[in-house]
């Protein structure tokens, strides 16, 4: 079966996180015949046609039934298939949570859950569609690996790693057209953190689309004479505690940035690693631990929660002043 595109011809900068995922899954499926795509009514939203048009016999439309989708995925996995069950992050991590625990993680089945539109990207649809607790929920379930890729090539890496590794995975996608960080897929260990830029004054540790925001903040700070390194955490669980400890010891001051509540996600994982290593001071930037009835476009939501490059730079600047 020939794929209509490959990783070397895709213009990742033009892809949404949804289409980057579906094209990545098709690339991986062209190599592994056991890979299956499943959706819960949201085929059009998931850009599923990129997969369905190539592999119509390996596509399952489950309807508005997220729990059943995960149960079916568990059944397929028990028969040797590798199902990727995709839906919006709040529906995947919250509505189907018990089924992920009991039909995927507990029986140690090879089920891959993909939660798209994590964070406030669907701000125009209101709080019920904000995927702001999903990493915390998935981190709490034993035997689930939690991945949070930053851009198109990173998404391909996450999909490839999930397909090649036994066990339950949760892949979180954020942003719309995320800032492209990498030219192409690196085929590296997705569980390892990546230092994108070096810094002496502070380290910004980010995940998902927030990596792009962090890089923008580092550029602003550089012009002000502040040297801030940026580290991309692609794997939230198990988190690369060794890399976090190295970064914390180097600068002594760490700032986490995520499109998630400051409870349970990247900030919490980094705090745990730093507490165990006894290194550095920490500032967590993310969404507050409260429900917010704001309905607004994605860009406005990032502004509201201080997650734009300029506002991240401001928070870093204020944090450094307090530590001096």
Residue-wise pLDDT tens digits, 278-299: 889 999 999 999 988 889 999 9
Domains in the chain: boundaries: 12-174, 194-323
- Over 80: is that where the pLDDT of 207 sits? yes
| One fold for 12-174 and 194-323 | yes
- Over 80: is that where the pLDDT of 139 sits? yes
- pLDDT classification of 45: cutoffs 50, 70, 90: confident
Give me the pLDDT at residue 258, please.
Answer: 98
| Segment 215-254, tens digit of pLDDT | 999 999 999 999 999 999 999 999 999 999 999 999 999 9
Dist. CA 150–CA 180, nearest whole Å: 8
Give me the pLDDT at residue 323, please.
Answer: 78
Give me the pLDDT at residue 10, please.
Answer: 87
- Over 50: is that where the pLDDT of 1 sits? no
Residue 37, both tokens: 């795509």
Q: Provide the mean pLDDT of the chain.
A: 93
The rounded percent of the chain whose pLDDT value lies above 70 is 96
Give me the pLDDT at residue 179, please.
Answer: 64
- Over 60: is that where the pLDDT of 178 sits? no
The rounded percent of the chain whose pLDDT value lies above 90 is 83
Q: Name beta bridge partners: 175.
A: none
DSSP tag of 102: I
Give me the pLDDT at residue 3, please.
Answer: 61
- Average confidence (pLDDT) over 195-216: 96
- Over 80: is that where the pLDDT of 165 sits? yes
Least confidently predicted of 65-74, 83-92, 169-178, 221-230: 169-178
Strands 168-174 vs 253-261: parallel, antiparallel or unpaired: unpaired
**Furthest-apart CA atoms within the chain: distance in Å:** 61
- Kindly compute the dihedral angle of the four CA atoms of residues 72, 36, 234, 175, in this order, to the nearest 10 degrees: -90
| Segment 3-42, tens digit of pLDDT | 667 788 888 888 899 999 999 999 999 999 999 999 999 8
- pLDDT classification of 82: cutoffs 50, 70, 90: very high
Quick one: which of 189, 179, 268, 186 has its CA closest to 230?
Answer: 179
CA distances, 25 to each of 88, 158, 237, 256 (Å): 17, 10, 21, 29
Architecture of domain 12-174: 3-Layer(aba) Sandwich (3.40)
Residue 85, both tokens: 């069950």
Give me the pLDDT at residue 29, please.
Answer: 96
> What is the pTM for the complete model shown?
0.95
Residue 193, both tokens: 């953190």
DSSP-derived secondary structure for 52-71: HTT-GGGEEE--S-HHHHHH
130 or 268, which is more confident = 268
Dist. CA 173–CA 43, nearest whole Å: 16
Quick one: which of 168, 143, 138, 172 has its CA closest to 155?
Answer: 172
Give me the pLDDT at residue 180, please.
Answer: 73
What is the total residue count of the chain? Answer: 324
Residue 76, preceding bond cis, omega within 30 degrees? Answer: no
Architecture of domain 194-323: 3-Layer(aba) Sandwich (3.40)
């Amino acid at each position: 079966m020939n794929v209509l595109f490959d990783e070397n011809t895709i213009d990742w900068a033009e892809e949404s996180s949804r289409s980057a995922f579906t094209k990545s899954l098709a690339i991986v499926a062209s190599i592994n015949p056991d890979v299956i795509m499943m959706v819960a009514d949201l085929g059009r939203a998931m850009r599923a046609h990129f997969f369905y048009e190539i592999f119509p016999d390996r596509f399952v439309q489950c309807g508005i039934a997220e729990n059943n989708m995960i149960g079916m995925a568990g059944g397929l996995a028990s028969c040797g298939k590798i199902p990727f069950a995709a839906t919006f992050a709040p529906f995947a991590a919250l509505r189907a949570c018990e089924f992920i625990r009991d039909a995927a993680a507990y029986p140690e089945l090879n089920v891959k859950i993909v939660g798209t539109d994590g964070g406030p990207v669907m701000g125009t649809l209101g709080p019920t569609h904000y995927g702001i607790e999903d990493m915390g929920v998935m981190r709490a379930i034993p035997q689930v690996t939690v991945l949070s890729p930053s851009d198109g090539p990173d998404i391909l890496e996450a999909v490839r790693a999930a397909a090649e590794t036994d066990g339950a995975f949760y892949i979180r996608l954020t942003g719309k057209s995320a800032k492209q960080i990498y030219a192409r897929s690196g085929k590296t260990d997705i569980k390892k953190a990546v230092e994108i830029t070096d810094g002496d004054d502070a380290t910004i540790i980010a995940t998902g689309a927030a990596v792009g925001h962090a890089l923008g903040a580092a550029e602003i700070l550089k012009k002000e004479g502040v040297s801030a390194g940026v580290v991309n955490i692609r794997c939230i669980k198990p988190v690369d505690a060794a890399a976090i400890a190295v970064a914390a010891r180097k600068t002594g001051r760490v700032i986490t940035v995520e499109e998630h509540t400051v409870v349970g996600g990247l900030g919490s994982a980094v705090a745990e690693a730093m507490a165990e290593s006894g290194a550095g001071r920490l500032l967590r930037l993310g969404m507050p631990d409260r429900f917010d009835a704001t309905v607004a476009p994605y860009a406005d939501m990032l502004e509201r929660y201080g997650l734009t490059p300029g506002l991240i730079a401001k928070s870093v600047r204020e944090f450094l002043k307090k530590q001096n």
